[in-house]
């Protein structure tokens, strides 16, 4: 009997262990950030929290090139119950879910989203010509959260930070905006479908990642390998991400998510872009601070308090400017990625594949100009001489050689040049996909961009050759 | 007895499953209502106060200059060439054909001076007027080496990358605060690039085809920098007199000085001599 009681106790304790609340998803600081001194780390953490929040408490940073999800309009009526707003007739007409399931999905995405009420009078003041004198009198918009929304009656229930019905500072005619609903849905979908490989922070280190030989993408550099964008555009377009999620990456563990509806994939795309921006912001803050204010700098410093006050002074004078510049970088670069002119679209149509074109392509492949063979090998097995060289370990002092031969990517993994005889192409096997691989290179890898140096016709010849390789007659002495 | 244990165990085991499902934030489950969104108040940096100057105490007066030598405190190191003459496995007709490829990671002159060391103000001094250069010296590739091995670009100003070799190269640039690139460089190629941001430290660029090739680039937004010559000497002219903090970077050692203070005298050169032991360079 005693034994059974102890078993009961033991078993009863199990759920507590399993349900450790520390397992709630949270964004982790990067390895780089962890090398910062504590005081610099605090500021980086603070800045990331201010700009992006946490998985459970997302932050809408309106300047970013992200569709956070918003709807709204003017307030038709405040009330009847405390903390409720009826949104005006014309507004929010876009939110008319056609089914019960769609309604449930919509409500899920709205719950917790930010509600911004801008006082009609104060916004009129700021837009009027004589504003400067009254500037101080203008009240800032009030921010609340969505508790629920009734699509039929357009009744929005609003709560405050403590979860109680909000004491609204709003009246008829004020502007109301609901922000962040789709980012929340994107987050939910990401946590369900992507997180276990790509990690909560998008660091490519989810719980499953450790078992993979080919590592899941770490988004935090904003770099994705297979894009349609030009070499000079650092980021993928939304279409690129959509395509990768839908089709998967052949030859890797990245599966196809063809069964997800398009709108859900789009929401995941937006959340992945947002995670990438968060990572980039962290990286840029590190590029600025890690030199002077690392843990190493603390160890070397004569006086910790002097270094810290130096840091505080620099942070106080410069951080606003730096953060604005970094935010601007994110905005411009990600905007660039979605511009039509950023996409590699050859003006010359594909040269029809012919023995002549294939021969020209093969000649280029082996030539001193393109030197494809130096990595891909003369027989295109992905075993060129570059794969035999012992290279410096990334992120280590020069001369620190890796103990394994091979080329490294930007994430510190050894990458194999593609074996072109298998007919499996990670970025897609359409001729245009291979054209773009050659034109822009594969970002973050030693596969370089040939678009500025090879002519369109030459690239098409190489495409024709590459597509012919799996069918090459191996007996012919190639 | 056994029955009892089983009776207890099974529901309890179920609890484990159920309990965990509730506790971890299941995105599709009930916990979703606890998540929230808030709005960042926009990035309102406000006017940047250029007069507030905590880092550099600039006195008024005629500009001075900083001249100096960076010395290797030990016998001249004898680094083996990276590729012996005539032994290159890649492009042997061009690479290391006439001369061995030297190890440029530490170049010490006969006087003990260290070449290719960056000396620069880590932070753009405020309240000083200067003009950005109209054009920047290009980077070239000759005999499977990047020329020069060290160079300085300005943020926002275009620069040229060239290849004078008879074989193809590529330039794989991995800056920290800017977007990187990886461009193929066939013989005679010329590529124009620019960086938007400054870099706190010089960064390395490589060529995947010839793995020994590398060069180091600093990106600045002010003219107060220098790279030491073959004798380890440098000069930074037109410095406002007063206290300045310099950073000294050598590729093997990384930061020789994170922040070294120098008081520049008005109207004349201020001379320094900095000496570093072999251990700094991993020797």
Yes or no, beta carbons of A56 and B48 under 8 Å apart: no
Residues 6+ apart with CB under 8 A from B65: B235, B236, B237, B238, B239, B264, B268, B269, B270
Does B48 reach chain A within 8 Å, measured CB to CB?
A: yes
Q: Kindly tell me if the per-residue pLDDT of A94 is higher than 70.
A: no
B residues 246..275 contacting A (CB < 8 A): 247, 251-255, 258-259
Yes or no, beta carbons of A187 and B27 under 8 Å apart: yes
Cα A281 to Cα A334: distance, rounded to the nearest angstrom: 13
| pLDDT mean across residues, chain A | 87
**HSE-up (13 A, CA, CB side) for residue A193:** 24
Structure tokens at A478: 């190639």
A349 closest CA partner among A341, A360, A357 = A357
Annotate B80-97 with three-state secondary structure: CCCECCCCCCCCCCCCCC
- pLDDT (tens digit per residue) in A151-206: 888 889 999 888 889 888 888 888 888 899 899 999 999 999 999 999 999 999 99
Q: What is the pLDDT of residue B59?
A: 53
Q: Which of the pair, A11 or A103, is modelled with greater confidence?
A: A103
The residue in chain A having the minimum alpha-carbon distance to the alpha carbon of residue B105 is A398
| pLDDT mean across residues, chain B | 83
> Residue A305 burial (CB < 10 Å; 0-12/13-18/19+)?
exposed
Q: Kindly tell me if the per-residue pLDDT of A139 is higher than 90.
A: no
Does B36 reach chain A within 8 Å, measured CB to CB?
A: yes
Instruction: Work out the pLDDT band at B60, boundaries 50, 70, 90.
Output: low
Q: Which of the pair, B70 or A163, is modelled with greater confidence?
A: B70
Instruction: Work out the pLDDT band at A19, boundaries 50, 70, 90.
Output: very low
Yes or no, beta carbons of A21 and B90 under 8 Å apart: no
The residue-averaged pLDDT of A89-113 equals: 75
Q: Please give the interface size between A and B, counted as residue pairs whose CB atoms are below 8 Å apart.
A: 254
Yes or no, beta carbons of A370 and B252 under 8 Å apart: no
Which ipTM was obtained for this model? 0.80
3-state DSSP assignment of residue B278: helix
Q: What is the pLDDT of residue A95?
A: 66
Q: Kindly tell me if the per-residue pLDDT of B55 is higher than 60.
A: no
Q: Kindly tell me if the per-residue pLDDT of B99 is higher than 70.
A: yes
Nearest by CB to A7, which of B5, B15, B91? B5
Residues 6+ apart with CB under 8 A from A76: A86, A87, A88, A89, A154, A172
Peptide bond into A317 cis (omega under 30): no
Does A12 reach chain B within 8 Å, measured CB to CB?
A: yes
A chain contacts of residue B24, beta-carbon cutoff 8 Å: 19, 23-25
B chain contacts of residue A325, beta-carbon cutoff 8 Å: 197
- pLDDT (tens digit per residue) in A28-43: 999 999 999 999 999 9
Annotate chain A with three-state secondary structure: CHHHHHHHHHHHHHHHHHCCHHHCCCCCCCHHHHCECHHHHHHHHHHHHHHHECCCEEEECCCCCCCCCEEEEEEEEECCCCCEEEECCCCCCCCCCCCHHHHHHHHHHHCCCEEEEECHHHHHHHHCCCHHHHHHHCCCCEEEEEEEEECCCCEEEEECCCCCECCCCCCCCCEEEEECHHHHHHHHHHHHHCHHHHCCCCCCCCCCHHHCCCCCCCHHHCCCCCCCECCCCCCCCHHHHHHHHHHCCCCCCCCCCCCCCHHHHHHHHHHHHHHHHHHHHHHHHHHHHCCCCEHHHHHHCCCHHHHHHHHHHHHHHHHHHHHHHHHHHHHHHHHHHCCHHHECCCCCCCCCCCHHHHHHHHHHHHCCCCCCHHHHCCCCCCCCHHHHCCCECCCCCCCCECCCCCEECCCCCEECCCCCCCCCCCCCCCHHHHHHHHHHCCCCCCCCECCCCCCHHHHHHHHHHHHHHHHCCHHHCC
The residue-averaged pLDDT of B66-82 equals: 94
Yes or no, beta carbons of A59 and B91 under 8 Å apart: no
Nearest by CB to B179, which of A51, A234, A367? A234
Q: Kindly tell me if the per-residue pLDDT of A11 is higher than 80.
A: no
Q: Kindly tell me if the per-residue pLDDT of A473 is higher than 80.
A: no
Yes or no, beta carbons of A391 and B211 under 8 Å apart: yes
Q: Kindly tell me if the per-residue pLDDT of B107 is higher than 70.
A: yes
Nearest by CB to B35, which of A112, A232, A287? A112
The residue-averaged pLDDT of B66-91 equals: 93
**HSE-up (13 A, CA, CB side) for residue A239:** 11
% residues pLDDT > 90 (chain B): 63
Q: Are A33 and A43 in contact (CB under 8 A)?
A: no
Q: What is the pLDDT of residue B89?
A: 83
% residues pLDDT > 70 (chain A): 88
Yes or no, beta carbons of B40 and A371 under 8 Å apart: no
Q: What is the pLDDT of residue B124?
A: 85
Q: Kindly tell me if the per-residue pLDDT of B263 is higher than 80.
A: yes
Cα distances (Å, whole numbers) of residue A384 to A366, A418, A419, A467: 11, 10, 10, 19
Instruction: Work out the pLDDT band at B10, boundaries 50, 70, 90.
Output: very low
3-state DSSP assignment of residue B20: helix
- pLDDT (tens digit per residue) in B115-169: 999 999 988 887 777 888 988 999 999 999 999 999 999 999 999 999 999 999 9
Cα distances (Å, whole numbers) of residue A352 to A142, A193, A257, B132, B229: 62, 41, 33, 50, 55
Least confident of A43-47, A182-186, B20-24, B68-72: B20-24
Instruction: Work out the pLDDT band at B72, boundaries 50, 70, 90.
Output: very high
Q: What is the pLDDT of residue B128?
A: 78
Residue bearing tokens 């529901």? B11
Least confident of A70-74, A252-256, B62-66: A70-74
The residue in chain A having the minimum alpha-carbon distance to the alpha carbon of residue B10 is A11
Instruction: Work out the pLDDT band at A92, boundaries 50, 70, 90.
Output: low
Does B29 reach chain A within 8 Å, measured CB to CB?
A: no
Residue bearing tokens 């250069």? B133
- pLDDT (tens digit per residue) in B165-186: 999 999 999 999 998 999 999 9
B residues 164..203 contacting A (CB < 8 A): 166-168, 170, 172, 174, 176-177, 179-187, 189, 191, 196-197, 199-201
The residue of A186, A267, A323, A399 whose CB has the most chain B CBs within 10 angstroms, and thus the best one to mutate to test that interface, is: A399
Instruction: Work out the pLDDT band at B17, boundaries 50, 70, 90.
Output: very low
Nearest by CB to B39, which of A62, A232, A453? A62
Peptide bond into A35 cis (omega under 30): no
Q: Kindly tell me if the per-residue pLDDT of A414 is higher than 80.
A: yes
Residues 6+ apart with CB under 8 A from A3: none
Q: Are B179 and A333 in contact (CB under 8 A)?
A: yes
> Residue A39 burial (CB < 10 Å; 0-12/13-18/19+)?
middle
A residues 437..456 contacting B (CB < 8 A): 441, 443-450, 452-454
Least confident of A148-152, A448-452, B119-123: A148-152
Does B57 reach chain A within 8 Å, measured CB to CB?
A: no
Does A172 reach chain B within 8 Å, measured CB to CB?
A: no
Nearest by CB to A389, which of B46, B211, B214? B211
Q: Kindly tell me if the per-residue pLDDT of B249 is higher than 80.
A: yes
Q: What is the pLDDT of residue B29?
A: 40
Write the Ramachandran bin of B91: left for phi over 0, alpha for psi from -120 to 50, otherwise beta.
Answer: left
pTM metric for this prediction: 0.86
Nearest by CB to A7, which of B8, B54, B181? B8
A chain contacts of residue B54, beta-carbon cutoff 8 Å: 313-314, 317
Q: What is the pLDDT of residue A118?
A: 87
The residue-averaged pLDDT of A415-430 equals: 94
Q: What is the pLDDT of residue B165?
A: 94
A residues 390..429 contacting B (CB < 8 A): 390-391, 397-399, 407, 410
Q: Kindly tell me if the per-residue pLDDT of B43 is higher than 80.
A: no
Q: Kindly tell me if the per-residue pLDDT of B12 is higher than 50.
A: no
């Amino acid at each position: 009997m005693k034994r059974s009681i102890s078993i009961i106790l033991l078993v009863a304790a199990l759920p507590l262990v399993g349900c450790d609340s520390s397992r709630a998803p949270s964004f982790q600081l990067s390895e780089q950030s962890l090398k910062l001194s504590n005081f610099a780390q605090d500021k980086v953490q603070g800045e990331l929290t201010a700009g992006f929040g946490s998985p459970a408490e997302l932050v809408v940073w309106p300047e970013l090139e992200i569709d956070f999800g918003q709807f709204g309009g003017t307030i038709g009526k405040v009330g009847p119950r405390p903390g409720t707003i009826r949104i005006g007739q014309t507004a929010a007409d876009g939110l008319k879910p056609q089914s019960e399931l769609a309604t449930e999905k919509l409500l899920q995405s709205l719950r917790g989203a930010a509600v911004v009420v801008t006082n009609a009078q104060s916004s009129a003041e700021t837009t009027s010509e004589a504003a400067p004198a009254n500037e101080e009198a203008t009240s800032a918009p009030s921010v609340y959260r969505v508790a629920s929304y009734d699509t039929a009656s357009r009744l929005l229930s609003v709560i405050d930070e403590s979860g109680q019905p909000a004491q609204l500072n709003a009246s008829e005619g004020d502007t109301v905006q609901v922000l962040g609903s789709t980012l929340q849905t994107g987050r939910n979908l990401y946590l369900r479908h992507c997180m276990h490989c790509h990690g909560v922070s998008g660091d490519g280190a989810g719980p499953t990642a450790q078992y993979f030989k080919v590592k899941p993408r770490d988004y935090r550099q904003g770099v994705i390998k297979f894009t349609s964008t030009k070499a000079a555009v650092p980021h993928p377009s939304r279409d690129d991400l959509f395509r990768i999620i839908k089709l998967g990456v052949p030859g890797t563990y990245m599966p196809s998510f063809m069964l997800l509806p398009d709108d859900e994939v789009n929401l995941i795309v937006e959340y992945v872009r947002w995670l990438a921006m968060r990572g980039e912001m962290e990286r840029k803050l590190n590029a600025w601070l890690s030199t002077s204010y690392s843990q190493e700098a603390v160890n070397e410093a004569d006086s910790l308090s002097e270094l810290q006050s130096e840091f505080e002074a620099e942070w106080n004078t410069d951080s606003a400017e730096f953060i604005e510049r970094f935010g601007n970088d994110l905005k411009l670069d990600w905007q660039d990625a979605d511009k039509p002119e950023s996409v590699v679209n050859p003006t010359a149509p594909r040269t029809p594949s012919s023995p002549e074109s294939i021969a020209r392509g093969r000649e280029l492949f082996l030539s001193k100009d393109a030197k494809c063979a130096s990595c891909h090998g003369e027989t295109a097995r992905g075993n060129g001489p570059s794969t035999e060289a012992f290279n410096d370990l990334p992120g280590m002092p020069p001369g620190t050689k890796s103990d394994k031969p091979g080329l490294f990517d930007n994430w510190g993994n050894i990458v194999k040049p593609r074996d072109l005889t298998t007919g499996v192409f990670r970025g897609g096997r359409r001729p245009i996909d291979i054209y773009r691989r050659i034109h822009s290179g594969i970002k973050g890898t030693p596969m370089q961009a040939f678009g500025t140096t090879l002519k369109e016709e030459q690239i098409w010849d190489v495409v024709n050759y590459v597509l012919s390789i799996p069918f090459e007659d191996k007996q012919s002495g190639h | 007895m056994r029955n009892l244990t089983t009776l207890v165990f099974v529901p309890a085991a179920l609890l484990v499953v159920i309990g965990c499902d509730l506790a971890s934030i299941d995105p599709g489950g009930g916990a979703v209502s606890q998540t929230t969104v808030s709005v960042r108040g926009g990035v309102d940096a406000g006017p940047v106060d250029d007069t507030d100057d905590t880092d550099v105490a600039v006195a008024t007066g005629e500009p001075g200059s900083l001249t100096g030598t960076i010395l290797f405190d030990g016998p001249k190191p004898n680094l083996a060439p990276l590729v012996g003459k005539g032994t290159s496995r890649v492009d042997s007709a061009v690479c290391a054909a006439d001369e061995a490829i030297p190890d440029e990671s530490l170049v010490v002159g006969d006087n003990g001076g260290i070449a290719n060391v960056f000396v620069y103000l880590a932070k753009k001094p405020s309240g000083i007027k200067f003009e950005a250069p109209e054009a920047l010296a290009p980077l070239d590739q000759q005999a499977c080496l990047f020329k020069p091995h060290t160079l300085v670009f300005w943020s926002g100003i275009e620069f040229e990358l060239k290849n004078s070799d008879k074989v193809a190269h590529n330039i794989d640039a991995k800056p920290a605060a800017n977007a990187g690139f990886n461009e193929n460089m066939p013989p005679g190629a010329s590529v124009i690039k620019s960086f938007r941001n400054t870099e706190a430290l010089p960064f390395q660029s490589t060529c995947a085809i010839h793995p020994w090739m590398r060069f180091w680039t600093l990106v600045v937004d002010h003219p107060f920098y220098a790279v030491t010559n073959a004798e380890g000497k440098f000069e930074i002219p037109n410095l406002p007199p007063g206290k300045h903090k310099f950073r000294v970077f050598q590729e093997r050692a990384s930061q020789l000085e994170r922040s070294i203070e120098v008081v520049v005298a008005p109207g004349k050169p201020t001379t320094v001599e900095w000496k570093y032991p072999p251990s700094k360079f991993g020797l």
